[in-house]
Every structure is written in structure tokens, then in C-alpha cells.
A and B are shown apart, each in its own frame.
Chain A
Amino acid sequence: MSVRAITIGYLYPEIMSGYGDRGNLAAIVRRCGWRGIATDVRELRLGYRVDPDEVDLFLIGNGGEFHQRLIATDLADVKGPGICEAVGEGAALLAVGAGYELLGRFYQPSRGVELPGARLFDTWTIQQGADLTTASCTIAQARAGRAIGDLLVRWDCADPGRRLREELLVGFENHSARTYLGPTACALGQVVAGHGNNGDGSEGVRLGNAIGTYLRGPCLPRNPVLTDFLIRSALQRRYGGAELAPLPDQLEHAARDAALARHQGSRPGRARPSRVVRPAGHAPVGAGR
């Protein structure tokens, strides 16, 4: 069998890689490499168009509102149509945090008019945190209302082979915006611990092989099942078949189990909810070390 290859479209690498997001790219490239699958990473910068036939797997990471303002129009108008078409044809996509927020209908900042979304997902996002584009608030005020902490999600994972499995995903969340799902949107999964989309128990969104999520960490290295879902989807689109050799994942599972273990103890067998930082005066704001 000839060497299989997938093309990864890495969106706005120098703008939207603010929180270790390159780890998600590394997870995909490495897990392909260990299986002899070649990867071609295309950096999709401001102004570049997306050829929907070219990219098998899109990645977009995190940034602040400043970064969202830089890319919103380009993502909605220049790249959005190509991304939507590719996902409609089975391409895989992972959008995290700020990138997830901009793939919905719109993003409403704390101040000013809404930013356009790429309208891939039937979601919208309202910023409820303090306005960080002025500096008039203290760090404690800026942190107020943010969802910060471990985020554990029960994912109903239907892979392209239609084998229905339930998986627990682990990650970290840190966001003050709230994302709401429209009538045609499906959540990625249910929150086991943490805050998720908006506190209603749902987390992320799933459309075909495209996933939007607040899971950071970065999320793919500690959740190889999610990484392999994306790789398998990309192969399925490119070749119509997607056999993946299993890999030894002891280190990944140890890291995942360590995150799960942090959420046991206070109530055995139940996960401890992560903290939503309360307004100034009540928040145990980091006092250095």
C-alpha cells in the first residue's frame, strides 16, 4: 500500500496559537508519523484563501479578543466559505476557545459591535467578562466571572465507522464568554466537571467531523482518542477508508488519569466542579507563588 498522506490547514499560526495550541498540531503530526502517515501542514495566514479540496483537517487555536478582532473578518469572508464547504464534504476540524467562538454565527464582545462569525456552527457567543481592551479594570475584576479550571467532558463519540463509544475528555478551560447552541447544533458532549459552553451542562459543538470546544491544555495530547478521531476522519475523506494502527498510549493515559484523580476525593466517585472565579473581593486571586 502506498504511503497515505493528509493535509492539515493550520489557521492563523502566529496569531491564534496563544495557549500551547501548537501541541494540538504536534499531536496530529506525531500520531500520523508513528503510523507512517505523511502530513503536509499548510499555514493559512491572513489573506490566504482556503481551497476546500485541498485541506483534510483544519486546526484553529486560541487568542484574546485583540487577536479575534484581527482575524474575524478574514475568517468569516475569506476563509469561511472554503472551510464550510470542506467540512460539508467530510473534512475534520478542531477549533479551540477563541477560534471556536469565531466559527459560529457571531461573537458579541464586551464593548462595541459584534464580530462576524464564519457560520460553520449554529452557535453564538456573548462576552460576559470585563472589557480587556481598556485597562480600567483590575486583574481581579477582569477575572471575575471567568470559568477557570479543569474541564471534564463526556463525549458521545460516533467515529466514521459508526462505532458508538462513550469517552471522557480532559482539558482546562479559561474563558469569560458564553457560547449558546442554536436549534440545529449538537453539543460535543456533557460537562462532568467545569463550566463548558455556558453553564447549562453542554460543552462544545459537533458538526460532522468538525469540533468546536473550550477544552484547552492543549487537549489533543492528553486525549489520544480525540486526536485519532480527527486523523481517521481526515483519512476517510481523502481515501474513503481509515484503518489506524493502535499506538502505545500509557504516558497519555497517565496524564489523563492524573487530571481525573484531581477531581476525586472530596466526593468519592464524583467529580469536583471547577471554580468560576467570583467578583473582586471574593476571589482568591493568585498571590504570586
Chain B
Amino acid sequence: MAALAIDAHLLSGLASEIRRGAVIVTGTNGKGTTCRMLARVMRASGLRPITNQEGANQPRGLATTLLAHASPAGHLPADDRAVGLFEVDEGSLPEVLSQVSPTTLVFTNVFRDQMDRYLDLDYLTRRWERCLWSLPADTTLVLNADDPRLAYLAADLPNPRIFYGLDDTGHHRSGVDHTSDFPRCPRCTGELGYTCVFYAQLGHWSCAHCGLTRPAPQVRAAKVDLIGPAASRVQIATPAGEAVLEIPLPGLYNAYNAVAAVAAATAGQLPGGALPAVTEMAPGFLRMEPVTIGGREVHLALAKNPNGYTEVLRTLLRDGRPKHMLLALNDRDEEPDVSWIWDVDFESLCGLVPSAVLSGNRACDLAVRLKYAGWTDGAAAEITVEPDPVGGLRLALAHAPEGQPLWVVGTYQVLWQLRDWLRRQGLVNALWES
């Protein structure tokens, strides 16, 4: 506990020395990508963002990040252009906000994730609401209008708020996904109706009971073009004008990340001319990250909760062309719950994956999941179980025909092991070099 107390002191002291204050991004999915996009816009605006490493998103990680920038005397160098840009673990937000007062606080979305740890999404959002009351009155909240829990988050709080959302209804789905927690009306707990669902519970919603409706977003994606499994184009309207962003990442979920980043830039009054800089971002660590192994094209994609896994698979298989895959599943230390894989929509992808190798310490559970999704009926897919990740990768490469890329989708631990092995083979850079 003593070390934590020192961390708290360090974090609050160092964070208060950042001249332009700090932007905090939290939520279930998309924190890291939103931060990487926003970092590009900040740099193009002449700022020097101080960012934390992915995963170092709890108070101790933030303190470590700031210490690395500090002088031996324990102070940050005076820099009028320095701005903090931190992704913060959704469970750690109350603790972080007790030590850091952000100028802008961005919420991406609330999905089911690590339920054994966060217990309950409504509990998680109530904890957020409670800690928001300690924010300075001028902290801007940047909220996803399409996520009912976020659209109504701490509605009584007088702070300025900027809503963002998707307006391109061409991407609607037929109904709310089972990956979502089927939120009730955040005001009256009535049943929500949708004129348009993009995925999970994100969409254009309203409550028939009390009349609460999705707020009109000030920053909105007017048009989203999904260009294959590696790129997209998002036309974003802000109060200051329009921008067309070419993003080296696929999928609707990255369109949300882009519009969240632009909304945060709008909150920080960054120049509109800096927005196209998101194009320069590198596809992040394990975010469809490309690798070449023995002349073969391999992509690594992290997927750690039902919604993330479903959207990554949908995005990859959207063109209807079969893809060879290595699907990986690990549980976390002492938390043997992998029930969330039953909320991943494997059913609708049945038949699109001719060969799948399953890896990780819970590969057997994944095999059962795919069997009950119909993947083994009538040999719809050839499924092989190899719990060892490197062995699994070798097998998957052997199963995928020459000239066809291999897609590796899985949870953190397995992908981390694979990436570490690839690094030792000299095939990828270390995390801190990328």
C-alpha cells in the first residue's frame, strides 16, 4: 500500500505539471486506437503529446509513464507544447480521476468485458458517474451518443459535453446483437427501440416509455466507406466544418474511434487542418498488424471480448471471401471464465473459414464453441486444436494455401506470446520500437 500511496502522489504531482493539461480516453474498446489517432492530430497541431503504453493504463502505469519523462529531480521539463494523452482502464477511472484532472474526458463505449473483474456494466457506469462529480467544472465530456449508457452519463452534471456518433445509416444491422448487454433506458429503465443499429447496442435509439432519445451529435460521421480488411474512409462533420479521413484500419469500430478522436480534437479546439493527420497513424500493435513470415502474409488482430471478437471477424469476412485463420483463446490468471465466447457471433460466419487452427490454453473450449456454431457440421471447416501458440502458427501456415494470407485473431496472452516469438525471429519490432 505504501508504494501505491507514493504512486498517487507522483501521479497527481507530475500530471499537474503538464502545461496543456491532460486528455483521458476510457471505455471498453477502442481506447488505444482513439489515442493513437488523436496523438497524430495533436502533433500536426504543434503539440507534443505524452502518451502511455498500451496496457499501462492503470494509475501505476500512468505514474511510470510520467516518471520516464521527468528529470532526476522528479519534475517534468518545462514545455509549453506538452499535453497529456492517456488511455485509462475503465475500472481504474475513479482512482485516476482522484489524481489527474483532465481538460477533456473521452468515453468510447461500454461493452461486456472481463465480467468476473468489473462485475456488472451498470455498476461500472455508476462508479464512473460518481467520480465525475469531482471533475473541474470546465472539463469537457466527450460522449458516444450512439451508446445509451454513455449518452445519458451523469446527465445532471453541468460540465460541457460534446456528443459524437455515426449518421451513415447505410451500415445498419437488423437488430441489437447478443454481444451487447441490451441496455434499458438509462433514465426510466424502459425498453429501448432502435431505428438503426450499427453493432451491439450502438445506434439510433429512443425510449418509447419516457421519450428519451439519442442526442444529436455535434461531431458525426456522415459517411463511412469500408475499404476491405485494411482501410476505411470516414467523412466527418464538426461544428467547424467537414473533413474526410483516410484511415489505415478497417471496420465500423474504427470509424467510431476516428469520430471520437475528432470530437476530442474539437473539444481541445485543435485546428481542423490537423485532422487528416490520422492517415499517418501506423496500424497499432496487434490491431490487424501485418507481419511477413517466410514470404507469407500474416495479420495479428487482438480480440478480447464478445463485441471486439465479433466485429473483428465480421470486418475480416465482410467481403465474403474465405479466410484461413488461427483463432486463439486464453483465460487470465486465476480467472478461468471464458463464457464470453458464447456471445461471439460465430454462427453467422459459419462456412467462411475453410481451415481454422485453435490455440491457447482454452483452445478446447473454443473448439466446442465452434462445433455448436455449426463449423464442424458437414465439414464446413477443418478445425485443428494445437494449444501451443507457436506450434499453432506453424500448423495454420501449413494449412493455408500458398499466396493466401493468414489471419490470427485472439486474446492478449496468446498474441503476446506469438509476437514475442516473432520478435525473437527478427520478424517484428519490439513493442517499444513500434
Query: Does A238 lie at the interface of the complex (its beta carbon under 8 Å from any beta carbon of B)?
Result: no
CA–CA, A286 and B412, complex, Å = 14
Query: Does B91 lie at the interface of the complex (its beta carbon under 8 Å from any beta carbon of A)?
Result: yes
Interface pair A218/B342, CB less than 8 Å apart: yes
Interface pair A135/B364, CB less than 8 Å apart: no
CA–CA, A64 and B362, complex, Å = 26
- Shortest A195–chain B CB gap in Å is 14
Query: Does A56 lie at the interface of the complex (its beta carbon under 8 Å from any beta carbon of B)?
Result: no
Which residues of A have CB within 8 Å of B181? 18
Partner-contacting stretch, out of A19-27, A118-126, A205-213: A19-27
Partner-contacting stretch, out of A35-43, A85-93, A143-151, A184-192: A143-151
Interface pair B184/A70, CB less than 8 Å apart: yes
Which residues of A have CB within 8 Å of B373? 26
CA–CA, A15 and B343, complex, Å = 14
Among B228-286, those with CB < 8 Å from A are none
Interface pair A289/B118, CB less than 8 Å apart: no
Residues 58-83 of chain A, each 1 if its beta carbon lies under 8 Å from chain B, else 0: 00000011100010000000000000
Residues 134-155 of chain A, each 1 if its beta carbon lies under 8 Å from chain B, else 0: 1110110011000011100000
CA–CA, A281 and B4, complex, Å = 12
- Pick from A14, A132, A134: contact of B120, CB below 8 A: A132
Which residues of B have CB within 8 Å of A287? 58
- Shortest A249–chain B CB gap in Å is 10
Which residues of B have CB within 8 Å of A26? 342, 372-373
Interface pair B332/A172, CB less than 8 Å apart: no
Query: Does B429 lie at the interface of the complex (its beta carbon under 8 Å from any beta carbon of A)?
Result: no
Size band of the interface chain B makes with A? 35 or more
Given contacts A14-B182, A23-B342, contact A255 B367 (CB under 8 A): yes
Which residues of B have CB within 8 Å of A275? 334
Residues 89-123 of chain A, each 1 if its beta carbon lies under 8 Å from chain B, else 0: 00000000000000000000000000000000000
Given contacts A135-B130, A286-B117, contact A254 B364 (CB under 8 A): yes
Residues 4-28 of chain A, each 1 if its beta carbon lies under 8 Å from chain B, else 0: 0000000000110111111100110
CA–CA, A285 and B58, complex, Å = 13
Given contacts A139-B91, A149-B334, A287-B58, contact A70 B189 (CB under 8 A): yes
Interface pair B335/A286, CB less than 8 Å apart: yes
Query: Does A237 lie at the interface of the complex (its beta carbon under 8 Å from any beta carbon of B)?
Result: no
Among B93-120, those with CB < 8 Å from A are 94, 112, 114-120
- Shortest B67–chain A CB gap in Å is 18
Interface pair A255/B365, CB less than 8 Å apart: yes
Interface pair B332/A289, CB less than 8 Å apart: yes
Which residues of B have CB within 8 Å of A15? 182
- Shortest B53–chain A CB gap in Å is 12
Query: Does B337 lie at the interface of the complex (its beta carbon under 8 Å from any beta carbon of A)?
Result: yes
- Shortest A224–chain B CB gap in Å is 10
Which residues of B have CB within 8 Å of A172? 336-337, 339
6 contacts between A and B (CB under 8 A): A17-B178, A66-B122, A148-B116, A251-B371, A252-B368, A255-B364
List the interface of chain B (C-beta within 8 A of A).
Answer: 1, 55, 57-58, 89, 91, 94, 112, 114-120, 122-123, 126-127, 129-130, 176, 178, 181-182, 184, 189, 332, 334-337, 339-343, 362, 364-365, 367-369, 371-374, 376, 385, 412-413, 416
Nearest 6 interchain pairs by C-beta: A20-B339, A20-B342, A23-B342, A135-B126, A255-B364, A64-B120
